């Protein structure tokens, strides 16, 4: 059966029949996996956690939900030679018990896991050809090696899926006896490929629900994969959650997780034009709550340098950005040039073109003064907005790094600051910015789940998790990437105002990037942009017949339904392909 026929079937049947077809395909592919002894999963070496997270989720779902469990089975996790140590370190945070320095003896739900590079797999005579390989994210596409992953993993069929919204190919590749077949490129079919790209991964609730055992594991630096820094960050994270759950006056704290504000130009703009907007969004949201409830912004990054960090805090309290300071320097430089040329003329020098140079310098000075005046006007507008909202004394900061104003924060200091900001006699609104740093993915996901103001982040994989949680979010996209409304999912429930809610969500997310965006010649537009984001918070968390909560409920209902899972859909298609290739249910090994 060709994929074209499968596409035609999917396009021309009712939703109920389509669901039934997917269910039948999953059941058939589950039977195929039950009959297999081995599968292999490729884990790419992407810079962040996205591809590794998707691939580990895929592995766990094959075992937990699609029949690949029981005696005699094993999964081999295969990764590139380049950055192998870094990939193993990330895997150790996704697979509890994995020691990245000695990755042996690891199991998941009783199924043994093996870890090896592509080269090790290639040279190991015991790693024979098998039927199926998978990935949750793989970026490379050598033009002369179309079945690269299938051949490298020694599998007949390789299902290549990608993280949510990822634009690189989603395919079924072929190896072994079928290596001369052209890959089935799922993205290239106009009727189906884009649909698969918009599909998310179903994420079970336990992926963001840490147990007491999990907290104990990740707060102990002696456990495999848990570094001293990671244990320290996890201890602070636990202290914050414990405070919120046990202090009688802390249940109203608004938690706002943040991820993606790192070193300079991480998202195509400097941190002092981005982090203050996030803090100000929390401050403005707090200002709009009935009791001006305190907010805690928790950053899962702490990699920006000291100068960037300190300037970001200054801006958050009402100071100028480096760009706005630069506008004043431009005026000073132009004044100096005018004074220099004027002095030369007054001294009697008659250097050629001196008068025209002075005229040009005066025009330049007038232009810079005009631009600086515009910058100053916008700055005064922002400062008034921040002053009205108590930013100067209401923005508190703590960090896991020594930022020039004290040692890294301790659990006791965090508890004390939290206790202070919830006191009724403290001027409101107030925000604590906690620069926490990296957390294990399970705890990271838990903070996203506990958010009571929108989480602010970059990354398709984090988006996928938050959609499964039904949480409101503001996704930042690198300014080098074309931003469109597809960054927020289409409303699967057709109802009045739902598409408008999607577009409003995207505009509010863009406003986080735009609020302080400026250069010495272009002033920021802070107030109109910050108004967009704070009103968005008001209408989601304190609704008065607004459609925003309905929009997020509809996306949650769709993306957190296993029948709509990207993996389930991919396995259903893979079953059809395996059937057309006459791959038997009973494993046939090539030797």
What predicted TM-score, i.e. pTM, was given to this entire model? Answer: 0.90
548-559 helix and 460-469 helix, angle to the nearest 10 degrees: 100
Long-range CB contacts (< 8 A, 24+ apart) of 408-411? 408/232, 409/236, 409/434, 411/235, 411/236, 411/239
Side by side, which strands form the sheet with 74-79? 106-108, 111-117, 74-79, 38-42, 130-135, 155-160, 171-174, 184-185
Least Cα distance to 50 among 155, 135, 159 occurs for 135
Would you state the pLDDT for residue 22?
80
pLDDT at 578 (0 to 100): 92
The position carrying tokens 């994995």 is: 98
Contacts of 157 (CB under 8 A, 6+ apart): 131, 132, 133, 150, 172, 173, 174, 175, 178, 574, 577, 578, 581, 583
According to the model, what pLDDT value does residue 530 have?
Answer: 97
Measured distance between the N- and C-terminal CA atoms of the chain, rounded to whole angstroms:
28
Cα–Cα distance for residue pair 469/455, rounded to 1 Å: 12
Q: Do residues 460 and 166 lie in contact, with contact meaning Cβ atoms separated by under 8 Å?
A: yes
pLDDT of residue 111: 97
Q: What is the pLDDT along the chain (591 residues), one digit of tens a residue?
A: 344 444 444 444 444 555 666 888 899 999 999 999 999 999 999 887 889 999 999 999 999 999 999 889 999 999 999 999 999 999 999 999 999 999 999 999 999 999 999 999 999 998 999 999 999 999 988 777 889 999 999 999 999 999 998 888 999 999 988 989 999 888 655 444 456 788 899 999 999 999 999 999 999 999 999 999 999 999 999 999 999 999 877 777 999 999 988 876 667 788 999 999 999 999 999 999 888 999 999 999 999 999 999 999 999 999 999 888 877 777 778 788 878 878 887 776 666 678 788 888 888 888 878 877 888 889 999 999 999 999 999 999 999 999 877 789 999 999 999 999 999 888 889 999 999 999 999 999 999 999 999 999 988 899 999 999 999 999 988 766 655 545 898 876 677 889 899 999 999 999 999 999 887 778 889 999 999 999 999 999 988 778 999 999 999 999 999 988 999 999 999 998 999 888 876 544 433
How many CB atoms neighbour CB 369 within 10 A? 15
Measured distance CA(271)–CA(275) in Å, rounded: 6
User: Residue 392, class by beta-carbon neighbours within 10 Å (0-12 exposed, 13-18 middle, 19+ buried)?
Assistant: middle
Matching residue, tokens 């848990």: 226
- Which of 516, 555, 510, 500 minimizes the C-alpha distance to 533? 510
- Helix (H), strand (E) at residue 42: strand 38-42
């Amino acid at each position: 059966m060709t994929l074209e026929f499968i596409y035609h079937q999917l396009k021309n049947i009712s939703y109920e029949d389509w669901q039934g077809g997917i269910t039948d395909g999953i059941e058939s592919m589950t039977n195929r996996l039950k009959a297999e002894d081995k599968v292999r999963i490729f884990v790419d070496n992407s810079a962040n956690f996205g591809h590794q997270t998707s691939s580990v989720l895929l592995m766990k779902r094959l075992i937990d939900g699609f029949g690949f469990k029981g005696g005699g089975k094993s999964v081999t996790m295969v990764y590139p030679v380049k950055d192998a140590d870094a990939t193993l370190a990330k895997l150790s945070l996704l697979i509890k018990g994995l020691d990245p320095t000695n990755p042996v003896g690891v199991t998941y739900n009783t199924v043994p896991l093996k870890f090896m590079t592509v080269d090790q797999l290639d040279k190991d005579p015991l790693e024979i050809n098998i039927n199926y390989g998978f990935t949750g994210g793989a970026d490379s596409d050598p033009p002369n090696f179309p079945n690269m992953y299938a051949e490298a993993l020694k599998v007949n069929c390789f299902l290549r899926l990608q993280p949510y919204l990822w634009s690189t190919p989603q395919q079924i590749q072929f190896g072994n006896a079928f290596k001369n077949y052209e890959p089935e490129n799922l993205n290239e079919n106009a009727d189906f490929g884009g649909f698969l790209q918009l599909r998310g991964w179903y994420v079970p609730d336990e992926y963001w629900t840490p147990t007491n055992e999990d907290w104990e594991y990740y707060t102990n630096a002696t456990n495999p994969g848990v570094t001293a820094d990671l244990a320290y960050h996890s201890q602070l994270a636990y202290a914050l959650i414990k405070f919120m759950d046990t202090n009688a006056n802390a249940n109203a704290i608004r938690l706002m997780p943040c991820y993606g504000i790192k070193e300079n130009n991480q998202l195509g703009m400097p941190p002092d034009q981005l982090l203050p907007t996030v803090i100000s969004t929390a401050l403005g949201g707090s200002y709009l709550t009935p009791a001006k409830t305190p907010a805690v912004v928790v950053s899962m990054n702490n990699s920006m340098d000291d100068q960037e960090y300190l300037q970001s805090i200054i801006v958050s309290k009402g100071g100028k950005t480096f760009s706005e300071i630069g506008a004043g320097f431009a005026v000073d430089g132009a004044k100096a040039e005018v004074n220099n040329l004027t002095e030369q003329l007054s001294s009697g020098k008659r250097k050629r073109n001196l008068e025209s140079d002075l005229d040009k310098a005066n025009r330049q000075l007038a232009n810079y003064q005009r631009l600086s005046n515009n910058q100053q006007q916008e700055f005064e507008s922002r400062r008034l907005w921040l002053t009205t909202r108590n930013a100067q004394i209401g923005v508190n900061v703590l960090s896991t790094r020594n930022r020039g104003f004290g040692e890294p924060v301790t659990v006791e200091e965090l508890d004390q600051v939290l206790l202070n900001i919830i006191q009724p006699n403290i001027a409101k609104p107030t925000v604590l910015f906690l620069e926490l740093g990296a957390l294990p993915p399970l705890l990271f996901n838990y903070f996203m789940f506990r958010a009571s103001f929108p989480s602010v982040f970059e990354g398709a994989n984090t988006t996928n998790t938050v959609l499964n949680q039904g949480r409101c979010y503001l996704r930042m996209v690198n300014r080098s990437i074309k931003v469109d409304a597809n960054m927020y999912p289409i409303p699967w429930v057709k109802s009045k105002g739902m598409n408008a809610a999607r577009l409003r969500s995207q505009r509010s997310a863009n406003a986080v990037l735009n609020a302080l965006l400026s250069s010495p010649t272009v002033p920021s537009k802070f107030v109109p942009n910050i108004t967009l984001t704070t009103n968005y918070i008001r209408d989601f968390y304190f609704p008065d017949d607004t459609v925003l909560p309905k929009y997020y409920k509809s996306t949650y209902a769709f993306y957190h339904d296993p029948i709509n899972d990207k993996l389930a859909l991919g396995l259903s298609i893979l079953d059809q392909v395996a059937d057309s290739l006459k791959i038997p249910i009973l494993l046939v090994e090539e030797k």
